[in-house]
Structure 1
Amino acid sequence: MRIQLLSSLFLFSFSSYPYRVSSQPEHASFPPRGWNSYDSFDWILSEVDFLQSAEKISQRLQPYGYEYAVVDYLWYRKNVPGAYPDSLGFDVIDEWGRLIPDPDRWPSSEDGKGFTEVAQKVQSVGLKLGIHVMRGLSRQAYDANTPILDTTTGRAYEESGRLWRAKDIGITERACGWMPHGFMSVNTKLGAGRAFLRSLYEQYAEWGVEFVKHDCVFGNDLDVDEITFVSEVLQKLSHPILYSVSPGVIPTPVMEKDITALVNMYRVTGDDWDTWGDVAAHFDVSRDFAAANKIGAKGLLGRSWPDLDMLPVGWLTDHGSGRGPHRMSNLNLDEQKTQMTLWAMARSPIMFGGDVRRLDETTSSLITNPFILEINSFSTNNMEFPFVTGTKVSAHKTTNHSRRIRRSLKEAGTSHTQFLGFSSCNHPKVNGWSIKALDQDLDQICWKESMRSHEPVCLYKRKPLLTSDGQLISNQGGFHLLASDEMEFCLDASPRKKRTSKEFNSGSFSPCRSDANQMWELSNNGSLISSYSGLCVTVKSIDANAGNSGGVRSWIATGRKGEIYVAFFNLNSEKTVISATISDLTKALPGRNSKATSCYGREVWSGKDFGEIKDSISMEVEIHGCALFVLNCP
């Protein structure tokens, strides 16, 4: 009877399942869901192709909550010889320096109609139109020195007895990093600069646009002033527009604090394409934002969501090819399931990137999986769960490397070794640090749960270094954690160099410096918290008999009916058996019975019903694959 009741939990009725975000009073109450043209069309997209795609989205995906159809970048650029992403002089602009659709590709835009007719046709099939826009002012408008529209008067902007133009507001030294010949910031401290931005977004609203992807204003190109003012404009519109910012190269939870309440989506990675390296790169950055409690935080007129980028599955084009869809995704099915599962567990917005006109059944079943969409929309307490073990299936054929590890451990008289790692601060196992004063300037911080067969794991606390101008770095309450009692190497939450998420190297020591990445705080409950990522330092152990499990990751979350979602990810290049104890899983989630020793559940992708699971949950996971469990734990 218990198993029968559990099975009924997994039967979803799409006719009654409340996917639609639009019925909610709060803006972006759930992670937005839709389709974006970039992965399948690059920038070579026509009105015919887009409207055909919108029709298919309405038929195939709209019942599953996909409600946005987004035109990605360069819809204003002429598709002629010499035109490419960073070319200059091929854009179509109006008399006020505002970009308008290329009429050769978007014929309904003629006579100043912009995207009005396209928006109406998209809305007629039950969807919402989105467009990609760039930062500030185009270089073309700057060179033409176009006048600025004052939308309050309908005439050229005038202040202090003069008419203002594009060259008065453009900041040429703040050009977009990846399109320097295309766009630049505008001076939002000037009334004319604000008037220009206002004229842009009021025009988008007049066209009927309901989603804006604002590029080159986050990450390396962070422009808090422009994001702030655009957000203010959007709040005053009678026509609501969902606000997304990107590209998100080297973003951090610390950087995000300045903009999260101003937007609804923000990209936290570079462009994601269909390679395994790009998929694997998202694990660290998604962990960081979840641990910093950024998932579903307060946003523009509602909530905001860290965005892991579009899903490059199905029928695609090539990055930078300037041509339409012509090939299938390079990710195999296991890798696609891993990506989809991580997007769901991290509650990232889901924006499908493949050609929806050629949506095959395999891809369709992947992006409309009811468990995946349920987790993405409604789960809570989403976090990486570090307390898993992995044993490679080929571990019995030990390599010379693993033999050396085991031999050294046996010589030390133990089958385990310990190492530092990062974890969510919500888990009780991070609260194991205590402090002891050694002298006036030096304290020792040790892990009190070190194994008896080991010397205690200890770090050394020192005051932070001064910057070159003699000032302490911003978080003056923090301190350095040294590997030894000499000031040489400090625990570093991230490399100093510019990086994408795939270069994140957690738990490393590097030369000490006045860097926020090296700042730590000790909480009253005994956890060491990174000022950079909001993660906590913990001590983990490796079982010498289990082989190398460094490529094993896991996430957990709570379902809206009290169920527990557990995802195992195998980042290794070999099949791996991944395991976790029931007690560790229940301890990690607030409000759970930490004494539970058994659960009932099934695995989503295989459909296997495990019945009662006692003590621990375990499954063999394919190379680059995943397992997704739905558990009912009394």
Structure 2
Amino acid sequence: MIGQSLERTGSIRFIVFFIILHLSIYSLPINARSNEHASFPPRGWNSYDSFCWTISEAEFLQSAEIISKRLLPHGYQIQYVVVDYLWYRKKVEGAYVDSLGYDVIDEWGRMHPDPARWPSSRGGKGFTQVAEKVHGMGLKFGIHVMGGISTQAYNANTLVMDSVKGGAYEELGRQWRAKDIGMKEKACVWMSHGFMSVNTKLGAGKAFLRSLYRQYAEWGVDFIKHDCVFGADSNIEEITFVSEVLKELDRPVLYSISPGASVTPTMAKEVSQLVNMYRITGDDWDTWKDVVAHFDISRDMSASSMIGARGLQGKSWPDLDMLPLGWLTDPGSNFGPHRACNLNMEEQKTQMTLWSIAKSPLMFGGDVRKLDDATYNLITNPTLLEINSYSSNNKEFPYITATRVSRNMHKSHPHHPTANNISTKHAFGLTSCKEPKANTWSIVDKNRGQICWNQYSSEKPEKNFCLYNRKALLASDEEMKHNQLYQGKLHLQTNDKAESCLGASSKQKLTSKDYSRGALSPCKLDANQMWELHSNGTLENSYSGLCAVLNPVKAEASSNGVRSWIATGRRGEIYVAFFNLNPLKTTISAKISDIAKALQNKQNIQGASCKSHEIWSGKDFGPTKDSVSIQVESHGPALFILRCSHA
């Protein structure tokens, strides 16, 4: 009897303890209780916008220390500091972004930090000491890597390392080398002298990649930015295998992929579960056209429920690229920060507001050693950081009206954003071959090798868009080798006499505004310009595995450029962001009833009275059941916090 009583008492105590423990855990901030990767959009700093590839260890650690002291206390709970590309390149005369022969590689063809710029790496230490110092500052350490294997390692024909058994990788009775796994015909399009894909169908190709990422983990790397593997440079096989390797590691590593030009929601769904961040645009730089280029793609990702979708051992986030604010350098530069951001403050606020409400990772790119107050206050704005981490139901909100303020006499011109003047121009683009709109090519003239964008396509251009298969002019050894490699593939020109051929992407890193431009370039014998026409009407590229499409370019009249986003806050508040993309001041309005419908009863505000605060002007607006409205500066945003209640 006494034993049963003690047993019951012990059980009750255990239940009470469990309840208290459960409640205490769930009273913690989300990031304190969750072990999953990228619970929130990742935040931090990347060296590219300010240093390009030239940053040194001293400059990096100085920047990390400033970030630890100035940004970490301002809502940057998990802060990554990332060394961008070419940390292995010697900074000497003749070395530049696409040069060959200036890299530091080991006997296994793996990249190592340039010891002249990264002195703590001497003796094969890699980034070990840098990572330890960064961790000691309360930060996490990241690096940029290129896809595949370097051309330098391929030319040296280095051995492939077996990181599981140790020593050289052996299979089928022999040791494997770089030339066995490198795919020279699949060189990185924008760094063709630097890197090429590896054959992941081979055990040796997989062994090489595994040796790379195990080494990065041994160095203490927490964040990998993997370049030239996504978008127009898509390499789903390598992404898939690297994702598997990262799962095998005994320490968590956040996985980010880029560059992201030509990305569609279908392509995003194919990679989102494999990664934690994926670029959905080309390189973003400090131009207004680049900022504007992010609105459509961020809208499409939200509409496809890609924001915070399941990712690698956690969540994944569509990435709008680094924030090029503050003190910067230039793309492809051989020297560090030297100029101020070209965006005016209204344009900078628009960029930061969109990045935040679209829940993009916030990776600042400016030189933190020269961080002015205006930029600092912008990137640490508590409302924007709150929205970026904790808001939900984030989506573009199209039900707005706008009244343009004319330069002449300040006359008003009402318009609705759906009443824009639409151009019928088309631009070449790439998409997943699974997209229905890719099935729209057909042979028109077999004798001339003519194929055309199908006349029955719903996105038919004004004039027929046709291409012609290029005929070999000379039976050279190079042509014969090429014909064997790409037997049955098409080399497409704009007409049967031209020497400009259709390629999968530009020969340089693309910015957000021009990812679909100039797919034509001088004809060369490489996979980027090889195509295969399938029986289902898809035209597949041999380099990326993506399919060619013609996309209509909806060229809006500049005066009609108004956009809006909405989201709900964790405390019941509602966020409404207006964006004025045209060159004149514009009054933008939204009805409370339309906001209620768009939220689909996630917030019960139908018929409620709402008070609002606009953060950029600092103005409070009294109770209203009708609408929110404000005059927005040219290229600027407005951001309302609505708190609604029923009387």
Measured against the shorter chain, the TM-score band is 0.7 to 0.9
| Pair 1:603-2:607 in alignment | no
Provide the rounded CA distance (Å) in 2 between the counterparts of 1:117 and 1:54.
14
Which one-letter code corresponds to 2:370 in the other structure?
A: R
- Give the aligned CA root-mean-square deviation in angstroms: 3.4
Amino acid at match of 2:396: E
Does structure 1 retain, via aligned residues, the 8 Å contact 2:303–2:395? yes
Report SS of the residue matched to 2:191.
coil
Q: Which amino acid aligns with 2:626?
A: D
Mapped pair 1:174 → 2:183: no
Residue 488 (structure 1) shift: 9.5
* Residue of structure 1 equivalent to 2:227: 215
Conserved 8 A contact 2:46-2:364 = yes
In structure 2, what residue type is equivalent to 1:285? Answer: I
Q: For 1:148-547, list aligned pairs within 5 A.
A: 148-394=160-406, 397=409, 467-468=442-443, 481=458, 502=513
Contact 1:284-1:504 at 8 Å conserved across structures: no
The offset of 1:596, in angstroms, is: 2.2
Q: Please, which moves more after superposition, 326-335 or 125-134?
A: 326-335
* TM-score of the superposed pair, with normalisation by structure 1: 0.76
Q: CA deviation at 1:131?
A: 0.1
- Paired with 1:576 and 1:290, the residues of 2 have a C-alpha distance of 26
Supply the distance in 2 between the matched residues of 1:598 and 1:488 (Cα, whole angstroms): 55
Q: Is residue 115–residue 122 contact of structure 2 (8 Å, CA) maintained in 1?
A: yes
8 Å contact kept, 1:284–1:501 = no
Partner of 1:510: none
* Inter-partner Cα distance in structure 1 for 2:408 and 2:304: 39
2-structure distance, mates of 1:515, 1:274: 39
1:590 aligns with 2:600: yes
Aligned to 2:270, the other structure's residue is in SS state coil
- Secondary structure at the aligned position of 1:629 is classed as strand
* Alpha-carbon distance change, 497 to 616 in structure 1, aligned in 2, over 3 angstroms: farther
Aligned mates of 2:28, 2:409 — CA distance in 1: 50
Residues 122 and 465 of structure 1: is their aligned pair in 2 closer, same or farther, counting only changes over 3 Å? Answer: closer
Q: In terms of mean alpha carbon deviation, does 163-172 or 598-607 score higher?
A: 598-607
- Mapped partners of 2:151, 2:394: distance in 1: 43
One of 29, 45, 49 as aligned partner of 2:55: 45
Q: Secondary structure at the match of 1:502?
A: helix
SS of the residue aligned with 2:229? coil
Task: Evaluate the alpha carbon distance shift between residue 416 and residue 325 of structure 1 in structure 2; reply closer, same or farther with a 3 A threshold.
Answer: closer
Partners of 2:36 and 2:82 in 1: CA distance: 21
The one-character-per-residue Cα deviations of 1:288-312 (angstroms, maximum 9, x if unpaired) are 1111111001100000000000001
Match of 2:40 in 1: 30
Letter in 2 for 1:334: E
**Structure 1 residues 214-264: Cα deviation after superposition (integer angstroms, max 9, x where no partner):** 000001110000000000000111111000000111111111222110000
**Contact 1:390–1:548 at 8 Å: present in 2 too?**
no
Whole-angstrom CA distance in 2 between matches of 1:151 and 1:339: 43
**1:316 Cα deviation from its structure 2 partner:** 1.1
Deviates more, 1:593-602 or 1:155-164: 593-602
CA 1:367/1:118 → structure 2, altered by over 3 Å: closer, same or farther?
A: same
Shift of the 46–386 alpha-carbon distance from structure 1 to 2, 3 Å rule, reads same
User: Structure 1 residue 199: deviation in Å?
Assistant: 0.2
CA contact (8 A) 1:392 1:548 kept: no
Per-residue deviation, 1:605: 1.4
CA distance in 1, matches of 2:30, 2:339: 31
Residue 81 of structure 2: aligned partner: 69
Quick one: distance in 2 between partners of 1:103 and 1:19?
41
Is the 2:605–2:644 contact (alpha carbons within 8 Å) kept by the matching residues of 1?
Answer: no
Residue number in structure 2 paired with 1:133: 145
Of all paired residues, the percent bearing the same amino acid is 63
Retained in 2: the 8 A contact 1:587–1:594?
Answer: no
Check whether the contact 2:307–2:359 (CA below 8 A) recurs between aligned residues: yes
Amino acid corresponding to residue 177 of structure 2 in structure 1: R
CA gap of 1:515–1:346, structure 2 versus 1, over 3 A, is farther
Instruction: Give yes or no for contact 2:580–2:636 (8 Å, CA) kept in 1.
Output: yes
2:230/2:257 contact within 8 Å kept: yes
Give, as a single letter, the amino acid of the residue that structure 2 aligns with 1:598: S
- Residue of structure 2 equivalent to 1:581: 591
Deviation at 1:25, TM superposition (A): 1.3
8 A Cα contact 1:601 1:611, kept in partner: yes
Who is 1:426 aligned against?
none
Unpaired runs of at least 5, structure 1: 1-16, 407-414, 422-461, 470-478, 490-495, 506-513, 518-531, 534-541
Please give the alpha-carbon distance, in whole angstroms, between the structure 2 residues aligned to 1:383 and 1:37: 30
- Give 2:488's aligned residue: none
- Partner Cα separation in structure 2 for residue 110 and residue 487 of structure 1: 61
Give the structure-2-normalised TM-score: 0.75
SS of equivalent residue, structure 1 residue 283: helix
Q: Secondary structure of the equivalent of 2:228?
A: coil
CA distance in 2, matches of 1:139, 1:354: 31
Find the aligned partners of 2:166 and 2:417 in 1 and give their Cα distance.
74
